[in-house]
DNA sequence: TTGACAAGTTAGCATAAGCTAATTATACTG
DNA sequence: CAGTATAATTAGCTTATGCTAACTTGTCAA
């Protein structure tokens, strides 16, 4: 089940909102990502069809098990990459910004390699 | 002058063909990138408009100075990232594949940081 | 109860990038 | 020279993603 970059971004945003506020709704996702509400609406429709999320009471967005797993993975990739980039001297803002793109490009294999490398040489 | 990922890929392909064959033409770019000739045609039109390339005799594609500089930069980023990924244990094919995406995500600042890091810790 | 605001959704449009099929242009070969 | 093959281009379509404007729904308060 190949997911687009943009879908992955929405998943990550929802997870961030869950961590920050406990809940996530479309309008908050729109704010968080800086996109319009209709864009979020479309993206959510797609993610729902792909069984990544579902809507509960009050339009709250929840992850399915598969969705949760995917979102956590993307988040981990983001964190690791950002940490690594800061570790080699990239400024915090830029590290974060570039991690947002790179996180979609690296496979699980690469994630594991970078994680091992980071722990072995950069802690 | 912000360039799209896809434009950067075309620039890199042209440079690779220059290095490999001395010349580059649209049909070869299409082969190299695995896209259709019309797609290359459109991309070349755009790159020409942006003064990155021009066409000489026999439809040969040449870089302008700005184009050459850009292409070399992307190529350097690609090489460094690929080298780095292989260095941390990623398989050659995957390293190359992922470098193709990551190369578009990293700034010159990050390139410099990674280059220094690589030279200092991974040679 | 009604009116207003917020949030979700729908409709319609734009842009980027790719494709196929068809057309034009070049160039080589018999 | 004529015909064929190769390459470039054009036209028209598709998909993905975003936007604005307009419409719907639901809640809360006067």
Determine, for residues A98 and B105 on separate chains, whether the beta-carbon distance falls below 8 Å.
Answer: yes
pLDDT in tens, B82-96: 999 999 999 999 999
Residues 47-76 of chain B with CB under 7 A from strand C are 58
Q: Is B109 on the interface with A (CB under 8 A)?
A: yes
CA separation for the pair B123, B119 (Å, rounded): 6
Chain C bases closer than 7 A to any CB of the protein: 6-12, 16-22, 26-27
pLDDT in tens, B34-77: 999 999 999 999 999 999 999 998 899 999 999 999 999 999 99
- Residue B35's alpha-carbon distances to A63, B77, B95, in angstroms, are 37, 23, 21
CA separation for the pair B101, B103 (Å, rounded): 5
Q: Residue A104: list chain B partners with CB under 8 A.
A: 101
Write down the pTM of the prediction: 0.91
B3 beta carbon < 7 A from strand C?
A: no
Question: What share of chain A has pLDDT > 70, as a percent?
Answer: 98
How much is the pLDDT for A1?
A: 46
Q: Which residues pair with B62 in a beta bridge?
A: B54
How much is the pLDDT for B57?
A: 86
Q: What is the dihedral of CA A101, A102, A104, A105, to 10 degrees?
A: 130
CA separation for the pair A7, A52 (Å, rounded): 10
Q: What is the mean pLDDT of residues A74-81?
A: 98
Residue B47's closest CA among B4, B100, B105? Answer: B4
Nearest to B110 among A85, A104, A106 (CB): A85
Q: Which nucleotide is nearest to A7 (CA to C1')?
A: D17
CA–C1' span, B1 to D8, in Å? 28
Let me know: does B46 contact B53? Beta carbons within 8 Å.
no
């Amino acid at each position: 089940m190949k997911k687009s970059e943009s879908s992955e971004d929405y998943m990550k945003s929802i997870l961030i909102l869950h961590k920050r506020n406990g809940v996530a709704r479309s309008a908050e996702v729109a704010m968080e990502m800086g996109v319009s509400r209709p864009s979020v609406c479309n993206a959510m429709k797609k993610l729902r069809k792909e069984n990544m999320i579902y809507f509960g009471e009050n339009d709250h967005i929840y992850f399915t098990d598969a969705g949760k797993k995917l979102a956590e993975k993307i988040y981990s990739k983001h964190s690791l990459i950002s940490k690594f980039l800061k570790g080699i001297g990239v400024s915090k803002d830029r590290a974060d910004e570039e991690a947002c793109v790179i996180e979609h490009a690296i496979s699980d294999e690469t994630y594991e390699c970078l994680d091992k490398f980071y722990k072995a040489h950069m802690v």
